[in-house]
Amino acid sequence: MSNAPLMLSVSGCRGIVGASLSPSVAAGFAAAFGSFVVSRHKGKSKSRPIVVVGRDGRPGGTMVRDAAIAGLTGAGCDVVDIDIAMTPTVGVMVDHLSAAGGMVFTASHNPQQWNGLKCLIRDTDAKKSAVSAAAPDKATADQIINIYKSNSATLAQWDNIGVVCHSAGDATKIHCKKVDAVVNALKARAAIKKAKFKIVLDCVNGAGATIAPAYLRSLGCTVEVHGDEPGQPFPHTPEPLAENLTSLSKAVKKSKAAVGFAQDPDADRLALVDENGRFIGEEYTLVLATRALFELGGVKKNSSTAVNMSTSRMIDDLCASFGARSLRSAVGEANVVEVMKKNKCIIGGEGNGGVIYPAITYIRDSLGAMALVLALMARSKKSLSQLVSEIPSYAIVKQKVELARKEDANPACAKIAAAYRDQSVNTIDGVRIDWSTYGEQNGRAPQPSGGAAWLHVRASNTEPIMRLIAEAPTPDLAQRILSDAAAVIAG
C-alpha cells in the first residue's frame, strides 16, 4: 500500500518513508510533541525538559531519527539518544532519568517501508525514577495531533535550542536490572539456571537483538538467535504470526529447544512456539505471564488486570480462577495503561503478545514477558505445551479489510451494532458483540449456536484497515461468526 495515508492516533504517527512520512513530517510531528512537552514542563524546572529517543533498527530509521531530533531540539527539548533500543527500554530510561517524555522511531509490526514516531509521556507528579512513562492517553494524543495539524508548535529561541547526548550501553543494563528484580522476586533465578533451557529466539533484525540474547544467556539459557542484525532488512514479514514464523517453528523442533520466542521489530510484543515446534501464538503470552505472577508471586483477592476489547477471554478465565478481576479497555496500549493506572492493576496487556508489568514499565515489554514465561516453566517444572494444555482454549479468527480512510469503518460498525442489538453490545472501540450462549436466528442476523463467543469490529489505530475478530469454542464457530458479520456489513 504505497499510497497509504499518514496515520495519526494514540500510537503516534506512522507512514510510508518517502511518501506520507517525509523528513518534514517527522520534524514537524516531533516539534509538535516537543512543544507540548515544553508547555507542560513550564514552571516545574528551570532546565529544559529531557526527551529520551530510540529506534527499532529498520532501514531508513536514521533519517526519521535525525529529522525528529531536529524538531525536538528546535522546540526546546534536550534529547538523550539511546540509538537502537526496544520500545520498553526507552520507557525504562524515561523513568530512570525522570525525563519529561520519550519518542521511539518505529512502525512496530508494519512492513519495512513504514516507520513512525511513538510518543511516551511521564506523569508530571511522578516521584523521581518511579515507573510512570507510558503512551499518552487519547486526550493528550489529540492535543499533540492538533498542534501538528495546525502547525502551531512553539519553537525555542536561538539561545534555548536543546542539546543531544548519546547513551546506549547504560540503557540495556538498566532495563535488564529491572527484569532481574522481577525474576528474583518470583524466586525463579536458580530454577531457570538449573533448567538450562535451550531457546530459539527470532529478533527479526529488530531492536530486541540488542538486549534479549545476552539477557537470556545471563539466566543460563542456551540461545540460538535468528535475525540478529539490526539495520538489515527484515528476514520475513515482521508481524509475529504463525504464517511468518515457520522457520522459527522448524528450528525449535530441529534443535530440540524448550521454547521459541519471536519479537516484533521494536520488541514490545512476544509470540511463543512450544517444544514441539507448534506455534502457540500471541494470545497465550499474556495469559502465561499473568499466571506466572499469580502463581509464583501470590495475588490478593480482588486484584485487577486490564486487557483490551480484542483480547481472548482466556485471561478472564484465569483471573476468575485466582479471584482476580479482568477489566477491558479500548484497543491500544495507551488505553490499557489508562485503565491499569486508574484501577491499580498488577499486570495488563493485549492479546497481540504485549505484556505490561508495572514493576518494570508501563510499556509492553517482550523481555519481561520472556522472564515471566521462563519463571513459570522453571518453577512448575512443566513444558510449555503442558502449561498451554491446562488453559481452557478458544479459537480466534481474524480478518483485515483495507480502508481508504479510518472513518470508513463507521458504517460497518453501525450495521453490526444494529443487527445484533439484542445481544450484549459495547461501542467503546468500534463495536463488540458478546454472546453468553448462542441462540437461534432472531430474524435480523444469523446467530451460530454452540457456546460463549464474541465479535469485535473496529478500525485499526496504526494501519489503514478495518479489523474483524471473532472468538468461539471452535475454529468453525469463530469463522462462522466472521462470515455472518461480513454478510451483515455487505447487506
Active-site residue list: 108
**The CA-based dihedral angle spanning residues 434, 435, 441, 443, taken in that order and rounded to the nearest 10 degrees:** -40
Which of 183, 208, 166, 172 has the alpha carbon at shortest distance from 92? 172
Q: Say which amino acid occupies 174.
A: I
Is there a contact between 353 and 367 (Cβ–Cβ < 8 Å)?
no
| Edge-to-edge order in the sheet of strand 325-329 | 325-329, 304-308, 347-350, 354-356
Please enumerate in sequence order all residues whose Cβ is within 8 A of that of 192, keeping only pairs 6 or more positions apart, or say none: 183, 219, 220, 221, 374, 375, 378
Is there a contact between 80 and 50 (Cβ–Cβ < 8 Å)?
yes
Residue 396 grid coordinates: 480466534
Backbone φ and ψ for 213, nearest 5 degrees, come out as -60, -45
CB atoms within 10 A of CB 385: 13
First-to-last C-alpha distance (Å) of the chain: 27
| Strand, coil or helix: 209 | helix
Which of 270, 268, 293, 292 has the alpha carbon at shortest distance from 281? 270
Helix (H) or strand (E) holding 33: helix 23-41
Sign of the alpha-carbon dihedral angle for 97, 102, 103, 104: positive
Q: Give the residues across from 471 on adjacent strands.
A: 396, 454
Position of cell 531540539?
73
Backbone φ and ψ for 210, nearest 5 degrees, come out as -80, -10
Query: Phi-psi category of 392—alpha, beta or left, where left has phi over 0 and alpha has psi -120 to 50?
Result: beta
Helices (H), 196-245: 212-218
Q: What is the C-alpha to C-alpha distance for residues 336 and 322, in angstroms, rounded to an integer?
A: 21
What is the CA angle 218-223-229, rounded to 5?
Answer: 100
Alpha-carbon Rg for the chain, nearest whole angstrom, is 22
Is there a contact between 318 and 332 (Cβ–Cβ < 8 Å)?
no
Position of cell 543531544?
164
Residue 117 grid coordinates: 514516531
- Convert 461-488 to b/e letters by CB count within 10 Å (16 or more is b): bbbbbbbbbbbbbeeebbbbbbebbeeb
